[in-house]
Chain A
Amino acid sequence: MSPVGAVVRKELRTYFASPIAYVVAGVFLLLLGLLLFLPILAISNQSLQMLRLQGNLPDINLNQLVLRPAFANMAVVMLLLVPMLTMRLFAEEKKLKTMELLLTSPLTITDIVVGKFVAAFAVFAGMLALTALGTAALGAIADLRWAPVGTAYLGVLLLGGVFLSVGLLASGLTENQVIAVVLSFGFLLLIWLFDWVGQLVGESPFGKLLSYLSPLGHFDNLVKGLVDTKDLVYFAAAIIFSLFLTHRVIESQRWR
């Protein structure tokens, strides 16, 4: 087994040995279920009213009216829950002094960082796969266009990847899990706000740069069904950059 594979397996084992993965996934699925159900309820009420008043059913675009807001809200839920998946990854190793085992084994720091990221990403992807049940149920009773649903899921997956890599970096900076979570929130909300600040700055290159740095616009495009290389490059670069910084942080801690 490759060294990365060994780290991935160990991290997955740890996720499911502790309640963390179950609690995070449970809360995530509950909130997402509600976020999907509430707009449907609202729309069906509206439709019934229109049926009563006008005598015919309106033409409803479910993608537009249900899934887009659901995915936008999902991003907010992820902002709050994804750091819970990553807070432990380095902070606990440092606190329990098990980092010493990893650092004195024939593993590179890249193996360790990538292994931990892949494991967290796999757990997150699993959670996401479970939300697909709700979407599929909706698809079974209503007309859905599946291509935008697919790109929206791609967007959520990539956005989750960015959140996870930022969370991993935050965990690498401290041996306290609470600090790791708070730092993750701080980082993530900051880059989230870049979009808003960019809009305030306006059409200048600086404003565009700030908006580009925020994941929000790129995520929005994918949720709308637009697949643009520019957005995909953004997500890949953001993930790789965070993982690179994590590598530097862990490496520098060896010297102290």
Chain B
Amino acid sequence: MIQVEHLTKRYGPKTAIDDVTFAVEKGEVLAFLGPNGAGKTTTMRILAGSLPATSGTARVAGYDCFDQPMEVKRVIGYLPEIPPLYTEMTVTEYLTFASRIKAVPASQIANAVDQVMQRLGLGEVRGRLIANLSRGFKQRVGLAQALVHNPPVLILDEPTAGLDPKQIIEIRELIRELAGSHTIILSTHILPEATAVARRVVIIHEGRIVAQDSQERLSARLRRSEKVSLMLKAPPPEARDQLALLPGALSVQQEDANTFLVEAELGRDLRDDLARFVVARRWGLLELKLVTITLEDVFLRLTQEEPASESVLHSASQEGDSDTGEVQV
């Protein structure tokens, strides 16, 4: 559905994205993961037809984003990083305008607006000025604008930015609901976000794709060990050494006076053992949790690797064969 090949965009001497290649199948959800300034927005704007690329090609639904922008714009719904809202309009007026310029037939506009408002829970604010809506509602109105003409392809730039946790969950559920019938690219700088909604993740750093794979394989490859964080109420001075004696514990780090980080080999969950161990010694168990891999970890690993191992990762992921692409850190 979406093919991006050797896409490069330069702003003067600055290269925003460099030789980016990836593809998205019909009905797939792809997460674009990277820190701010990595080139996510640039790539999405090129796909949405608002920005021409310096070189390379981007095709959406078979149409070239540069040569056939009209056709591309008809099949995509695009939510920019900053929702493009006319704040002096009411929600209904805004969505009516959006459906008009997105070539929804006049007879179906009222229906399309109603449906998208229902889908996004905007019914209660339909008559309110967008200027007076909360951040969460504004974001939903922005999303409604991208959905109102029911496009087969959705390009969502940080769809959950600035929302509260409940709203984030709602948006994620909506994206999951839309997957299958829609092809979706979304960008985020939050790893759990990517893994929550997308099956496949493209990690971009300084304009280059550093890894792309299904999220299970990616996190499996990037995780060398299981880490458990442990907070104790009254650990004795020798707690660290004693914890290290626990069968399965590879290493123990003391983060501060009360917090320890216990590392075990991959696939081994030490939480149960640790709980028993600590409770038996009456050290006062306050908190016990599995440390999930963070985006910082991912970037540090992917961007600080030796060039050789990076190329292994890159080529392996492009072939879709990650089993041979062990990451050495």
Q: State whether the Cβ of A42 lies closer than 8 Å to any Cβ in chain B.
A: no
Q: State whether the Cβ of B279 lies closer than 8 Å to any Cβ in chain A.
A: no
Please tell me if the beta carbons of A3 and B101 are within 8 angstroms of each other in the complex: yes
> Which residues from 101 to 158 on chain B have a C-beta closer than 8 Å to any C-beta of chain A?
101-103, 106, 145
Please tell me if the beta carbons of B84 and A106 are within 8 angstroms of each other in the complex: no
If A6-B100, A105-B101 touch, does A96 touch B49 (CB 8 Å cutoff)?
no
Q: State whether the Cβ of B97 lies closer than 8 Å to any Cβ in chain A.
A: yes
Partner of B100, one of A1, A98, A103, A256: A1
Interface centre among B45, B52, B73, B86 (most CB of A within 10 A): B86
Q: State whether the Cβ of B89 lies closer than 8 Å to any Cβ in chain A.
A: yes
CA A59 to CA B118, docked complex, whole Å? 72
Closest chain A CB from B76 CB (angstroms): 7
Please tell me if the beta carbons of A105 and B102 are within 8 angstroms of each other in the complex: yes
Q: State whether the Cβ of A107 lies closer than 8 Å to any Cβ in chain B.
A: yes
Stretch at the interface among A13-21, A75-83, A139-147, A222-230: A13-21
> Which residues from 139 to 163 on chain A have a C-beta closer than 8 Å to any C-beta of chain B?
none
CA A101 to CA B78, docked complex, whole Å? 8
> CB-nearest residue of chain B relative to A7?
B101
Closest chain B CB from A87 CB (angstroms): 16
Q: State whether the Cβ of A254 lies closer than 8 Å to any Cβ in chain B.
A: yes
Partner of A96, one of B45, B52, B87: B87
Contact with B along A152-190 (1 / 0, CB 8 A): 000000000000000000000000000000000000000
Closest chain A CB from B87 CB (angstroms): 7
Q: State whether the Cβ of B321 lies closer than 8 Å to any Cβ in chain A.
A: no
Contact with B along A191-218 (1 / 0, CB 8 A): 0000000000000000000000000000
> CB-nearest residue of chain A relative to B81?
A97
Q: State whether the Cβ of A104 lies closer than 8 Å to any Cβ in chain B.
A: yes
Interface centre among A13, A102, A105 (most CB of B within 10 A): A105
Chain B interfacial residues counted at CB < 8 A:
29
Closest chain A CB from B24 CB (angstroms): 18
CA A99 to CA B85, docked complex, whole Å? 10
If A10-B97, A104-B49, A254-B50 touch, does A98 touch B103 (CB 8 Å cutoff)?
no
If A104-B78, A105-B102, A107-B101 touch, does A98 touch B48 (CB 8 Å cutoff)?
no
CA A256 to CA B52, docked complex, whole Å? 9
Chain A interfacial residues counted at CB < 8 A:
27
> CB-nearest residue of chain A relative to B103?
A106
Please tell me if the beta carbons of B84 and A96 are within 8 angstroms of each other in the complex: yes
Please tell me if the beta carbons of A6 and B88 are within 8 angstroms of each other in the complex: no
CA A106 to CA B72, docked complex, whole Å? 8
Please tell me if the beta carbons of B85 and A98 are within 8 angstroms of each other in the complex: yes
Contact with B along A77-115 (1 / 0, CB 8 A): 000000000000000000011111111111110000000
If A17-B89, A104-B73 touch, does A97 touch B97 (CB 8 Å cutoff)?
no
Contact with A along B83-97 (1 / 0, CB 8 A): 011111100010001
Please tell me if the beta carbons of B73 and A105 are within 8 angstroms of each other in the complex: yes
Q: State whether the Cβ of B325 lies closer than 8 Å to any Cβ in chain A.
A: no
If A6-B97, A17-B88, A97-B84 touch, does A103 touch B49 (CB 8 Å cutoff)?
yes
Chain B residues within CB distance 8 Å of chain A: 11, 45, 48-52, 70, 73-74, 76, 78, 80, 82, 84-89, 93, 97-98, 100-103, 106, 145
8 CB < 8 A contacts A-B: A5-B100, A14-B89, A17-B89, A96-B87, A100-B50, A106-B101, A106-B102, A108-B70
